[in-house]
Amino acid sequence: MLRARRTIPGPPHDPVKARLLRLYRDLLRRHGPQHWWPGRSAFEIAAGAILTQHTAWTSAARAVAALRARGLLTPARLMAVPEAELAEVIRAAGTYRLKARRLRAFTEWLLVRFDGRFHGLRRAPLGPLRRELLQVSGLGPETVDAILLYAAHRPVFVADAYTRRALAGQRLLPATAGYEEARAFIEAHLPSDPALFNEFHALLVAAGKDARRELTDARSREGSSPAARRRRERQGSARARPSP
């Protein structure tokens, strides 16, 4: 008598992966493809990742446009410009002297390590490459991962503040989770796909900016309501009243 055919078990179900992919699909339906990171070359994208440190992208984009207008968006041409002159070119990005130094440090590393070409960044072992980039002056984890993901198309997730707030809001990570914890969490549960990481991160940023605008608008509406005006008037009267 033949025994009943056994079911061969497949890979274990990952409920976290399912939740992350559901969040990704929801954001994609709501916001559409983001086509991020804007840039005409890998070096331009990497420069943008450095210039946008601690500033709005609109300011960094003006600095990138200034570099492009001067023909400085190749490693060799950028390194041929004195640091003080480069700083003036990227003034729009804010903290321009510091960013000029960081931009030159990365460019010098790229020239020494890979002859200024991104082909090497796309082929080198990822773990050692990321650790090496983190040793470049002025490049923290978020900047390094943005360069690796967006400029070199490597499967590294940029776990910035938008990402961490979204994961905390979905109760996937505690609100106190740091950068490396959030990065490792997403990379452990999603397919190692640069295109997926690229779009997912860009969507999280778009959703985070929308939420911040909605909060600002709500506070503005609350502040201009009749009740708020009466409250301010009472507070002003109380401050103006002389002490006994």
pLDDT score for 154 = 98
pLDDT score for 16 = 95
Per residue in 42-75, pLDDT (tens digit) is 999 999 999 999 999 999 999 999 999 999 999 9
Per residue in 88-106, pLDDT (tens digit) is 999 999 999 999 999 999 9
| Model confidence, pTM | 0.83
pLDDT score for 240 = 42
Per residue in 190-208, pLDDT (tens digit) is 999 999 999 999 999 999 8
pLDDT score for 43 = 98
pLDDT score for 238 = 45
Q: What percent of the chain has pLDDT over 70?
A: 82
pLDDT score for 215 = 53
Mean per-residue pLDDT, 154-183: 96
pLDDT above 50 for 77: yes
CATH: 1.10.1040.50, 3.40.50.1860, 1.10.340.30, 3.40.50.2300. Which one for 36-154? 1.10.340.30
- The count of other CB atoms within 10 Å of the CB of residue 196 is 16
Residues 109, 99: contact at Cβ < 8 Å? Answer: no
Domain boundaries, the chain: 36-154, 156-237
Mean per-residue pLDDT, 72-87: 98
Average pLDDT, the chain: 88
